[in-house]
Amino acid sequence: MLDNRGSVQDAKDVFQEGIIIIYRKIKDNKLKLSSSFKSYLYSVCRYVWIKHLSRQKENIENQNIYIEYDNIPDITIDEYKKNEQYKLYQKHFKRLEKDCQKLLLLFLKKVPLKDIAEELGIGSQQYIKRKKYKCKEQLVRYIKSDPNYKEE
């Protein structure tokens, strides 16, 4: 990567995303290692880097060099896209106030309203519903205004 216009930060980012993609595969019981973990991690990171380059038009030349790489790991385009999407959503979720993050998670975990009220020390269940709505809308606004957000 460093020899192909990548920065140290790019290397760190790609390494992280490679690990997360592999982690999701483990979680879904889809990981089948036919080589050592180190080689697999390397091939996944390389794949992530190729995909990253392919999004940058100015790097088409570099991309062609990488595309010849014959050891493509078993990462589907959907797994890659999902990782990119979720990374964006999770990044903006972390931007929300702590209360908002907690409230959205409690709703998603289907915690009853009265328990959410207790947990957050809020008396009115109506207020909780309104707050949850505002938090979610704020999150959607953050995401839609991100330059990396793409409508599918």
Among 61, 68, 70, 152, contact with other proteins (rule: CB under 8 A):
152
Q: How far is the CB of 57 from other proteins (least distance, A)?
A: 25
Coil, strand or helix at 5: coil
Check residue 104 for interaction with other proteins (CB under 8 A). Answer: yes
* Residue 6, Ramachandran bin (φ over 0: left; ψ between -120 and 50: alpha; else beta): beta
CA angle 41, 43, 45 (to 5 degrees): 65
Check residue 66 for interaction with other proteins (CB under 8 A). Answer: no
Among 32, 34, 38, 77, contact with other proteins (rule: CB under 8 A):
38
Q: How far is the CB of 97 from other proteins (least distance, A)?
A: 14
Check residue 27 for interaction with other proteins (CB under 8 A). Answer: yes
Q: Segment contacting other proteins (CB under 8 A): 49-57, 58-66, 86-94, 119-127?
A: 86-94
The residue to which tokens 């991690």 are assigned: 41
